[in-house]
Chain A
Amino acid sequence: MKNISNRREFLKSSALAGGGLMLSFSWFSEAKAAEKIASLNLPEQWSELTAYIKITPDNVIKILCPNPEFGQNVMTSLPMMVAEELDCDWKNVVVEMSTHDNVKYGPQFTGGSNSVRMYWKPLRNAGAAARQMLIEAAAQTWGVTASEITTKAGILSHSSGKSANYGEMAAKAATMAVPKDVKLKAPKDFSIVRNSKKNTEGVKVVTGKPLFGIDNRVDGMLIAMIQHPPAFGMKLKSFDATAAKKMAGIKDVFSFKLYDDGFEQGGFDTRTHNEMIAIVGNSTWEVMNARKKLSIQWEAAGDVKDTMSGRGGKREVTVPGRLETTSSQFEMMAEYAKKPAKELRKDGDPAAAFKNAAQIIERTYNAPFLAHNTMEPMNFFAHVQDDKALVAGPLQAPGWMEPTLAKLLNLPADKIEIQMTRMGGGFGRRAYGSYVYEAARISQILKAPIKLIYTREDDMTYGIYRPMYTATYRAALDSNKNLIGFHVTGGGIPENPIHANRFPAGAVDNYLADGWEIPSNITIGAFRAPRSNFNAAAEQSFLDEVAEAVGKDPIAFRLDLLRRAKENPVGKNNDYDANRYIGVLELLKEKSGWGKPENAGKKRGVAAYFCHNSYAGHVVDMVMRDGQPYVEQVTSAVDCGVVVNPDAARNMVQGAVVDGIGQSFYGALTHKDGVPEQNNFHNYRMIRHNEAPKKIDVHFVENDIDPTGLGEPPFPPVFGAVANALFKTTGKRYYNQPFMSEQAKS
Chain B
Amino acid sequence: MAKYSLKINGKTQQVDVDPSTPILWVLRDHLNMPGTKFGCGMAQCGACTIHLDGNATRSCILPVSAIGKSAITTIEGLSENGTHPVQKAWLEHDVAQCGYCQSGQIMSAAALLKSNVKPTDEDIDNAMSGNICRCGTYLRIKEAIKTAAKN
Contact = CB atoms under 8 A, between A and B. Distances in A.
Interface of A: 70-73, 196, 198-199, 201-203, 205-212, 214-215, 217, 223, 248, 283-286, 289, 373-377, 422-427, 453, 455-457, 647-648, 651-652, 654-659, 662, 680-682, 686-690, 692-696
B132 A375 contact: yes
Contacts of A373: 134
A208 B103 contact: yes
B128 to A, nearest CB: 4
B138 A375 contact: no
B126 to A, nearest CB: 8
Nearest to B98: A71
Contact of A375 (B17, B100, B140): B100
A517 B57 CA distance: 47
Nearest to A216: B34
B99 A422 contact: yes
A223 B29 contact: yes
B94 A681 contact: no
Most buried by B among A223, A248, A686, A694: A686
Given A206-B96, A680-B42, A659 B136 contact: yes
Contacts of A73: 97
A373 B142 CA distance: 23
A202 B76 contact: no
B44 A214 contact: no
Contacts of B28: 284
A693 B142 CA distance: 11
Contacts of A215: 34
Interface in B91-112: 91, 94-103, 106
Contact of A680 (B37, B40, B102): B40
B92 to A, nearest CB: 9
Contacts of B101: 375, 424
A175 B34 CA distance: 44
Contacts of B70: none
Given A206-B102, A208-B75, A209-B35, A689 B135 contact: no
A284 B25 contact: yes
Given A248-B1, A690-B125, A205 B136 contact: no
Given A285-B18, A286-B18, A375-B39, A202 B135 contact: no
Given A223-B29, A425-B98, A202 B90 contact: yes
B20 interface: yes
Nearest to A215: B34
Contact of A658 (B36, B106, B136): B136
Contacts of A283: 17, 21, 25, 29-30
B81 interface: yes
Given A71-B98, A425-B100, A689-B129, A207 B134 contact: no
Question: What are the nearest 4 A-B pairs in CB distance?
Answer: A208-B35, A424-B100, A658-B136, A71-B98
A651 B39 contact: no
Given A202-B96, A456-B41, A651-B97, A689 B138 contact: yes
A198 B100 contact: no
Given A373-B134, A456-B40, A686-B132, A208 B76 contact: yes
Contact of A205 (B42, B79, B102, B131): B102
A118 B87 CA distance: 33
A690 B37 contact: no
Contacts of A427: 134
B94 A199 contact: yes
Contacts of B72: none
Contacts of B87: 206-207
Given A207-B87, A681-B132, A687-B136, A202 B94 contact: yes
15 contacts: A199-B94, A206-B75, A214-B37, A285-B18, A285-B21, A374-B134, A375-B39, A424-B99, A425-B98, A453-B38, A456-B39, A659-B134, A659-B135, A681-B44, A689-B124
Contacts of A693: 139
Contacts of B22: 285
Given A375-B39, A655-B137, 9 more contacts: A71-B96, A71-B98, A203-B91, A210-B34, A455-B41, A456-B39, A651-B94, A659-B136, A693-B139
A652 to B, nearest CB: 7
Most buried by A among B74, B75, B132, B141: B132
Contacts of B29: 223, 283-285
Contacts of B56: none
Nearest to B47: A375
Given A212-B100, A214-B38, A283-B30, A688 B132 contact: yes
Interface of B: 1, 17-18, 20-22, 25, 28-30, 32-42, 44-45, 47, 74-76, 78-79, 81-82, 87, 90-91, 94-103, 106, 121, 124-126, 128-142
Contacts of A375: 37, 39, 45, 47, 98, 100-101, 132-134
Nearest to A282: B29
Nearest to B140: A651
B76 A207 contact: yes
Nearest to A654: B139
Contacts of B99: 71, 201, 205, 211, 422, 424
Given A207-B81, A208-B76, A373-B134, A70 B98 contact: yes
A207 B75 contact: yes
A692 B140 CA distance: 11
A202 B91 contact: yes
A78 B4 CA distance: 47
B97 A376 contact: no
A686 B45 CA distance: 9
Contacts of B32: 217
Contacts of A659: 134-136
Contacts of B138: 658, 687-689, 692
A376 B101 CA distance: 8
A689 B74 contact: no
A199 B139 contact: no
A652 B98 contact: no
Contacts of B133: 375
Contacts of A655: 97, 135-137
A165 to B, nearest CB: 27
Given A284-B28, A375-B37, A680-B42, A205 B96 contact: yes
A201 B94 CA distance: 10
Contacts of A286: 18
A453 to B, nearest CB: 8
A695 B139 contact: yes
A425 B25 contact: no
Contacts of A662: 136
A692 B136 contact: yes
Contact of A652 (B75, B81, B97, B124): B97
Nearest to B34: A215
B21 A689 contact: no
B26 to A, nearest CB: 8
A427 B135 CA distance: 9
A286 B97 CA distance: 32
B34 A217 contact: yes
A431 B59 CA distance: 30
A214 B103 CA distance: 14
B96 A654 contact: no
B91 A689 contact: no
A649 to B, nearest CB: 11
A71 B135 contact: yes
A208 B74 contact: yes
Contacts of B141: 689
Nearest to B88: A206
A473 B87 CA distance: 49
